[in-house]
Amino acid sequence: MEETLTLEDVISAAYHGSSISKPDSILKNFKETALSEMEAMGLPHKKHEEYKYTPIRKVIEKMLQTGDADNEYIPNVDVSSFVYQVEGNHLIFVNGEFRPDLSIINITDGLEITKIDESSFKEFGEVINKASDQSYNAFTAWNSAMFQNGLSIEVAKKTNPAPIFIYHFYQSESLVLSHPRILVSVESSAAVDITEKSIFTNGQVFSNNVTEVLLQQNAKMSLTKLQNHDEQSVLHDGVHVRQARDSRFDINTFSFAGKMIRNNLNISLDDENCETNMHGLYLLNGTTHVDNHTAVDHKKPHSLSNELYKGIVDGKAKAVFNGKIFVRPGAQQTNAFQSNNNVSLSEGATINTKPQLEIWADDVKCSHGCTIGQLDEEAIFYLRARGLDEVSAKAMLLNAFAEETLQNVTQEVVNSEITEMISNRLQ
Amino acid sequence: MLKITDLHASIEDKQILQGINLEVNAGEVHAIMGPNGSGKSTLASVLAGREDYEVTNGSISYFEKDLLEFGPEERAREGIFLAFQYPVEIPGVSTTNFLKTALNQVREYRGEKALDAVSFLKLMKEKMKLVEIDQALLSRSLNEGFSGGEKKRNEIFQMAMLEPKLSILDETDSGLDIDALRIVANGVNTLKSKDNATIVVTHYQRLLDYIVPDFVHVLYQGQIVKSGDKSLALELEEKGYDWIKEEVAAHAL
């Protein structure tokens, strides 16, 4: 990378040099529009208000300086070594591309699982970017330009299919630039449960994920994300959700490790009587940097959003939380609750938390609260006075603090994996 | 069992205990009484190992060991139990949950085998009867939303589970109605044996109607200024603390 080239130039060059830009691609128009949007918007600098505490652009620039992505490398994927041993559909991405050939798709009642590529793209022209348009930014555009072999999950109305597990597998001898794209469309009165996690083996990874979710009337979806990443890996994860009347969306985000993780969660409550539950836990040490930016937009009356993010930050780790709640004019009888509670375990840890409420309706119930504290010394003394050693006492208190964020994790195997990760970390 | 010699302790440079001398033997019940601010709760806290207090002088020997060398958990494992004046609320941690870990750490320290889930439950059921406490309460977040009586009964329940040699009850009667007081006192009395001892810290005589002390000590200005038998408590109930204060003042002259 020459000094004079901007990051956008490098990305553009990568695009033009790749097979994605070949002239006979049906996707070409979509992708070239996205590329020019990315160039026009530019990936956010540190001066960008939304990225003030998370210098992800700089981190990506540095990664690109160290070498190029090796597109020739063929990863060796042993699926059986990491999939959960439970019934369901296990969908595998390798270095950002959906691989139906490696996936275990065998309980498909109510489900339509499709690879989004040149041949299938025309089916998705109407749907893609529909959920992300209001929060569209350079990262989404970059993903649109670069993704190859995305995943579409369609859930037929009035069905409740087997759970879905999505695995992002990464392997390379050098750098991986990954742009997984996932579309989830849940038809009316259907329900789906999705878990997403990443598996790192070799290589340095930057992954720019975009997931778009469209929930139709009375649809339900639960999404649990496990972010226990390699210490060299950087993730920008955009989740964009649109909810129709009477729908419910639950998301649970657990961040444990990685070099940098930025979660952008944007939820638009487009009609009345929606429910949204956002739970998150970040349990950080070392120099891990995790940033959760969430926004929920109440556009119509009678909806409920409930947000609870908790953090335990140790070492020199950094945590950022920004929670936006918009209540539009006319969105009366909105209930919107938000809280972000943090425990700082070391002097070197940094926590930035900011609630941001914009309320344009007058008959609403909204609350927010941010706390940053240490462990309760009196509680530690109490437990020690009963014979517990100090380490066990602290672990017990932290476990109890974290536990609340697990209540919506419905898959037992995932729930116990997270529980175990928490207690291992806190020992 | 316990020998406190010339104990001085301070908190944030404020001297609270100014030379306590006290000896407690197995089988005895000692009451520590005194007006507010005399240092009663400080004494209880120092015995349990609360680190906010600094012992500036004196010594505490417990079964010939230097108690001040021990952290709070070691004291608990050596058989010291403090029933808290203000039992702490811990969201997300139930009594059952923490007590099982605590009891097994105590047992391990004493060279006993850890209790399995079934034996623990059996022991719990037996001790629950003692203080008429409900199992549902013990499965809830510790002390969260408990009434004053429930909190104190929970303290005595934990005491029953841990079978201490030296129990220190810090204002256990505060916030209790007469029925709860009776239940708590009954629990304490049942646990009493010739091998253990109890220190009852209290402002009022009323608890001592139920837990009858062998010795009563009056703490004032960080010192034990008077000791006697249970009749001293009755005298204090009748006359208040003013005459003690006057006596001390006169003595100082």
Instruction: Give the pLDDT of residue A1.
Output: 47
Best of B75, B85, B101 to mutate (most A CBs within 10 Å, chain A): B101
Q: CB distance from A391 to chain B under 8 Å?
A: no
Mean pLDDT within B134-161: 94
Mean pLDDT within B233-248: 89
Is pLDDT above 90 for B28?
yes
Residue showing tokens 């504290």? A373
Mean pLDDT within A210-238: 97
Mean pLDDT within A187-205: 94
Q: How many CB pairs under 8 A join A and B?
A: 72
Q: How confident is residue A23, by pLDDT bands cut at 50, 70 and 90?
A: low
Residue A152: what are its φ and ψ, rounded to 5°? Answer: -115, 130
Residue B15: what are its φ and ψ, rounded to 5°? Answer: -75, 120
Q: CB distance from A387 to chain B under 8 Å?
A: yes
Residue ranges of E strands in B72-137: 80-83, 90-94
pTM for this one?
0.88
Is pLDDT above 80 for A10?
yes
User: CB within 8 A of B113, min separation 6: which ones?
Assistant: B107
Separation in Å, CA A140 to CA A130, A251, A360 = 12, 20, 28
- Please state, as a whole number, how many other Cβ atoms lie within 10 Å of the Cβ of residue B225: 17
Query: For residues A369 and A338, is the Cβ–Cβ distance under 8 A?
Result: yes
Cβ within 8 Å, pair B162-A397: no
- Please state, as a whole number, how many other Cβ atoms lie within 10 Å of the Cβ of residue A131: 26
Distance of CA B99 to the CA centre of its chain: 18
ipTM of the complex, rounded to two decimals:
0.96
In the structure encoding, which two tokens stand for residue B47, read together? 């015995």
Helix axes B117-131, B95-109, angle to 10 degrees: 110
Share of chain A above pLDDT 70, in %: 98
Per-residue pLDDT tens over the stretch B164-219: 999 999 999 888 888 889 999 999 999 999 999 999 999 888 899 999 999 999 99
The average confidence (pLDDT) of chain A is 93
Q: CB distance from A397 to chain B under 8 Å?
A: yes
Instruction: Give the pLDDT of residue B253.
Output: 67
- Please state, as a whole number, how many other Cβ atoms lie within 10 Å of the Cβ of residue B37: 12
Q: CB distance from A47 to chain B under 8 Å?
A: no
CA–CA gap between residue A256 and residue A330 (Å, rounded): 40
Q: How confident is residue A125, by pLDDT bands cut at 50, 70 and 90?
A: confident
Q: How confident is residue B248, by pLDDT bands cut at 50, 70 and 90?
A: confident
> What is the nearest CA distance from A210 to chain B, expressed in angstroms?
35
Mean pLDDT within A316-335: 97
Q: CB distance from B169 to chain A under 8 Å?
A: no
CA proximity to B150, closest of B105, B180, B108, B109: B180
CA–CA gap between residue A185 and residue A11 (Å, rounded): 30
CA–CA gap between residue B54 and residue A294 (Å, rounded): 47
Among chain B residues, the shortest Cα distance to A398 is held by B92
Residue showing tokens 């553009």? A12
CA–CA gap between residue A384 and residue A374 (Å, rounded): 17
Instruction: Give the pLDDT of residue A276.
Output: 98
Query: For residues A232 and A260, is the Cβ–Cβ distance under 8 A?
Result: no
Per-residue pLDDT tens over the stretch A251-288: 999 999 999 999 999 999 999 999 999 999 999 999 99
Residue showing tokens 């104990």? B7
Contacts of B91 in chain A (CB under 8 A): 400-401
Which residues of B, range 16-55, sit inside 8 Å of A by Cβ? 48-51
With residue B20 as reference, give the H or E element that holds it: strand B14-24
Instruction: Give the pLDDT of residue A185.
Output: 97
Instruction: Give the pLDDT of residue B47.
Output: 97
Is residue B246 helix, strand or coil? helix
Higher pLDDT, B130 or B251: B130
| A245 DSSP assignment | T
Residue among B49, B50, B102 minimizing CB distance to A388: B102
Q: How confident is residue A66, by pLDDT bands cut at 50, 70 and 90?
A: confident
Query: For residues B137 and B154, is the Cβ–Cβ distance under 8 A?
Result: yes
CA–CA gap between residue A107 and residue A364 (Å, rounded): 43
Best of A383, A392, A396, A399 to mutate (most B CBs within 10 Å, chain B): A383
Instruction: Give the pLDDT of residue A75.
Output: 87
Among chain B residues, the shortest Cα distance to A405 is held by B92
Question: Within 13 A of B33's CA, how many CA atoms are on the CB side?
Answer: 28
> What is the nearest CA distance from A411 to chain B, expressed in angstroms?
21
Query: For residues B190 and B157, is the Cβ–Cβ distance under 8 A?
Result: no
Instruction: Give the pLDDT of residue B204.
Output: 85
